[in-house]
Structure formats: C-alpha cells, structure tokens
C-alpha cells in the first residue's frame, strides 16, 4: 500500500532510532530530531531479548547486534547475597531460541543510527513546542527551527516534553532505589565468565552483572535503597568506595569484582503509572515517553522496539488519509501489553530486593518467574498484528 505520510520523531534514543528504521523499512518517510549535539549514550549496558531481537532482525540489524553484543547463555544464575544458588535465569523463548544479548548502549545507538540513510537524523534539535491543525502538526525547536509533519512521534524519554500534549503533566514515581552502574575491562578479571547473566539478591539490595561488547567489558549494576530521590542522570558520578561498602560481606566473587571498579555513575530509579491513552490527534507517544518502567525485567528498551515495529506495521497497512485510525489501533494494541510488563517490573523489583515475608517464598517465585519471562520473549508483535 502506498503511504505518503511524513513522520517526525522527537528523540534519538533506542526507541526513536529503531522506529525510524522500522518506518523506512515499511516505505514511510521519516526524520528524527535529537536534542544532543551528537548521538550517544554513556558507559553501561542494556539487554536485548528475543521479543525485540526478532524485530531487529526484520529491519536487517540482527547481525549487527550479534556482532557487537555478548550472547548470554544457559549458565546464567540467580544467587542469594552470599553466593548460594537460587535458580537459573530464563535466556530462551519457549522454542529454545537463545537470543539474549548484553549490548553497550553506545554500540546499540550506533548500530541503529547506521541503519538509517544520511540526512534522516537532525542533531542539536531540542523540542520546545508542539501544535496541530486539521492538516498538519508543527514542532518547534530551541534553535529556532520549526518543522511540519503529518504525524509526530514523541520518543523523548521519561521527561518527555511532548507527553504533556497528550496527558496532564505528572511527576515520575520514585522507586526508593538508586543504581550504581559501570563497566570493568574483562582483562582485569580474565576468569570472569563472559557468557552469563548473574544476579545476587539481598535485603533491599541486589546486584547484576552481564557481559558487553563481545565479552570485552563486564557490565555491573548495583541496586540499593535510598530515601532521597535522585534525578535519573548519567552525569552523576558515584563513589566506588560507597558502592563497595554497600555490598561488603556479600559473595566473595562479587566483592572481588568490586575491587576493580574505578568509576561508577549513580542513577535514581523512576517509572510512571501506566497511562490510559498515548495519542492526541497527530501526536503519539512511544518508548519511555509512553511507558517509563523500572528495569527489573530489562524491558524498557525492548518494549520501545516493539512499539516502533507495531507503529510501522499498522501505518503501512492503513491508507495515509486514515492515519488517526492507525494511531488509535497502535495505542489500543500496545496499551495492555506494556501495562502488564510495567506492573510486573515493579513486582519483580520487590522480589529482587527480598521485600517479602519469607525467603523460601521469594526463591520459589524467582524460580517460577521463568514462565513469565518466557511469555515476554515469545511475544512477536508482527505475528500478533497479522492475527488481528
Ligand atoms: C538501570 C537501568 C537498566 C536498564 N536496563 C535495561 C535493559 O537491560 N533492557 C531494556 O530493554 N531496558 C533497560 N532499561 C530501560 C531503557 O534504558 C529505557 O527504557 C530505554 O532507553 C528508553 O528508550 P527511549 O528511546 O524511549 O528513551 P531514551 O533512551 O530516554 O531516549 C530519549 C531521547 O530523546 C532525547 N530527548 C529528550 N528530550 C528531548 C527534546 N525535548 N527534544 C529532542 N530530543 C529530546 C534524549 O536526548 C534521548 O536521546 C534500563 C533502565 C535503567 C534505568
């Protein structure tokens, strides 16, 4: 079907850039506007899981992920804080397809940007305004530029300025935890296994380690409780000694790993309550702008990739003149799936921080949770749309 829509995406993060790839693959014209003078993300990892890997393969980026990521294998494990094992980690879908990759965020952004023709991404464009009429949408930027488009996709993250044009303004919800994140060169710990995802669970804290960049980097994330809500930011340096003190007395392996931390960043963890709609006329929310979630299922970026593919498929199957029907289908189709993941991410955080009456119950829930993870991984957004 011929589709002559012009789509403007505000935000060049994982959600915005993947959506641009998916729209172009479906023959839809797109431009991306990013506030930063240069695309990029700083030093830490993101996990790509089978539900989004399928979509990355569909836009021709599967091999790039395999090449620059680290495949996470079946020896992945949950431990109690002292290193005693709880259960394995689900790393395949129900068909046994192992496609969980640890990716450096900067590599993920580069490979998504490399998938786009020159001229699609406009850096140095900070969106400050939005208006719409029956014929077009207009986006204004801080640099004085104004552009018009048939549809505008707000992929501008948890602090989305465009979200206020769809739902009333609301503050993100602070989770009561912050994370210390960083990477350690594998050469400093050559015996560390680079094909496993490992998580240690203790009271009000947990610690995650997985490999990045074809096994060259060890990614760590230390989750600790903190009463003061810190703004989520990469630029807030953390103190490696404070991080070591938080996990003193835990499993010896983990304590040894922490001796190699020279640099870490702190980031307060926020999410949002599920929204009941994502669309206002020509404007649609996507990724964290639509559904900021806690990282306890590793799904924020993966869900933004599902959003992008859903949007591209729905727009490509609808005549351009029916764009508002297409956006309506997009929001209805995505709302329930994403709200389910958002809610379960909160619940999983409580398990990981051992906030429960009985540790044996927690361990049983962690083991049983593999079934829910499998259902996330099995989901194929394109198959579901084709079945509608
Ligand atoms: C500790 C932690 C671990 C995580 N681990 C995982 C994981 O393993 N797997 C996973 O799937 N997810 C994970 N996530 C979640 C994931 O990082 C986010 O859900 C994902 O990055 C959201 O992508 P996005 O493109 O929607 O938003 P963002 O990545 O926030 O991108 C938004 C972009 O918009 C730009 N922007 C913002 N405002 C404007 C403006 N006014 N004008 C123009 N541009 C603008 C920003 O500069 C940015 O480039 C984790 C999150 C945290 C905090």
Mind listing the pLDDT tens digit for each residue in 190-225? 999 999 999 999 999 999 999 999 999 999 999 999
Measured in angstroms, how far is the CA atom of residue 378 from the centroid of ligand 1? 23
Measured in angstroms, how far is the CA atom of residue 301 from the centroid of ligand 1? 7
What is the average per-residue pLDDT within 341-367? 88
Q: Which CATH entry fits the domain spanning 6-171+272-386: 1.10.340.30, 2.130.10.10, 3.50.50.60, 3.30.43.10?
A: 3.50.50.60
Cross-strand partners of 122: 33
Q: Is the CB of 287 within 6 Å of ligand 1?
A: yes
- State yes or no: pLDDT of 84 exceeds 60: yes
Question: pLDDT grade, residue 235 (50/70/90)?
Answer: low
Q: Is the CB of 157 within 6 Å of ligand 1?
A: yes
Q: Angle formed by the axes of helices 14-25 and 105-114, to 10°?
A: 20
Phi and psi, residue 219, nearest 5°: -95, 130
Q: Is the CB of 288 within 6 Å of ligand 1?
A: yes
pLDDT of residue 234: 54
Q: Which of 104, 129, 156 has most ligand 1 atoms within 8 Å of CB, for mutation?
A: 156
| In the chain, alpha helices (H) | 14-25, 50-58, 62-68, 105-114, 240-246, 252-259, 288-291, 300-316, 323-352, 359-368, 370-378, 381-386
| Atom 2 of ligand 1, nearest CA residue | 295
Tell me how far apart the 2 most distant CA atoms of the chain are, in Å.
Answer: 64
For the chain, what is the mean pLDDT?
Answer: 94
Q: Report the percent of the chain where pLDDT is more than 90.
A: 86
Atom of ligand 1 nearest to the CA of 289: 26
d(CA 230, CA 160): 18
- What pTM, to 2 d.p., does this model score? 0.96
Q: Is the CB of 12 within 6 Å of ligand 1?
A: yes
Measured in angstroms, how far is the CA atom of residue 78 from the centroid of ligand 1? 26
Cross-strand partners of 209: 198, 220
pLDDT of residue 231: 63
Q: Is the CB of 126 within 6 Å of ligand 1?
A: yes
Atom of ligand 1 nearest to the CA of 52: 11
pLDDT of residue 126: 98
- State yes or no: pLDDT of 152 exceeds 90: yes
d(CA 350, CA 352): 5
Question: pLDDT grade, residue 280 (50/70/90)?
Answer: very high
Q: Report the percent of the chain where pLDDT is more than 70.
A: 97
Atom of ligand 1 nearest to the CA of 36: 47
What is the average per-residue pLDDT within 75-84? 96
pLDDT of residue 39: 81
Measured in angstroms, how far is the CA atom of residue 114 from the centroid of ligand 1? 18
Supply the DSSP string of 348-376, one letter for each residue: HHHHHTT-SS-HHHHHHHHHHTHHHHHHH
d(CA 363, CA 384): 33
pLDDT tens digits, one per residue of 12-27:
999 999 999 999 999 9
């Amino acid at each position: 079907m011929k589709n002559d829509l012009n789509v403007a995406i505000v935000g060049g993060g994982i959600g915005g850039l993947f959506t641009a790839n998916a729209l172009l693959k479906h023959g839809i014209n797109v431009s991306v506007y990013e506030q930063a003078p240069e695309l990029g993300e700083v030093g830490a990892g993101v996990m790509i899981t089978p539900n989004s890997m399928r979509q990355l393969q569909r836009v021709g980026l599967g091999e790039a992920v395999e090449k620059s990521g680290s495949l996470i294998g079946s020896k992945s494990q949950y431990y109690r804080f002292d290193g005693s094992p709880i259960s394995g980690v689900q790393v395949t879908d129900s068909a046994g397809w192992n496609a969980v990759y640890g990716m450096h965020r900067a590599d993920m952004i580069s490979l998504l940007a490399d998938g786009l023709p020159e001229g699609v991404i406009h850096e140095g464009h900070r969106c400050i305004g939005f208006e719409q009429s029956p014929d077009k949408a207009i986006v204004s930027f801080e640099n004085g530029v104004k552009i018009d488009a048939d549809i505008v996709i707000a992929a501008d993250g948890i602090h989305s300025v465009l979200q206020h044009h769809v739902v009333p303004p609301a503050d993100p919800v602070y989770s009561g935890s912050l994370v210390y994140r960083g990477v350690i060169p594998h050469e400093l710990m050559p015996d560390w296994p680079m094909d496993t995802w490992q998580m240690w669970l203790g009271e009000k804290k947990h610690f995650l380690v997985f490999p990045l960049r074809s096994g060259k980097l060890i990614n760590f994330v230390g989750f600790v409780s903190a009463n003061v809500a810190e703004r989520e930011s990469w630029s807030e340096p953390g103190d490696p000694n404070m991080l070591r003190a938080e996990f003193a007395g835990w499993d010896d392996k983990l304590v040894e790993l922490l001796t190699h931390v020279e640099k870490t960043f702190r980031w307060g963890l926020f999410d949002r309550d599920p929204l009941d709609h994502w669309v206002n006329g020509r404007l649609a929310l996507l990724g964290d702008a639509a559904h900021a979630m806690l990282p306890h299922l590793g799904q924020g970026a993966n869900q933004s990739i599902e959003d992008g593919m859903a949007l591209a498929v729905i727009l490509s199957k609808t005549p351009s003149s029916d764009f508002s029907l297409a956006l309506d289908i997009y929001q209805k189709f995505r709302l329930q799936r994403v709200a389910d993941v958002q809610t379960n991410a909160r619940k999983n955080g409580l398990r990981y921080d051992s906030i429960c009456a009985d540790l044996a119950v927690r361990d049983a829930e962690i083991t049983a949770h593999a079934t829910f993870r499998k259902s996330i991984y099995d989901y194929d957004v394109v198959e579901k749309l084709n079945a509608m």
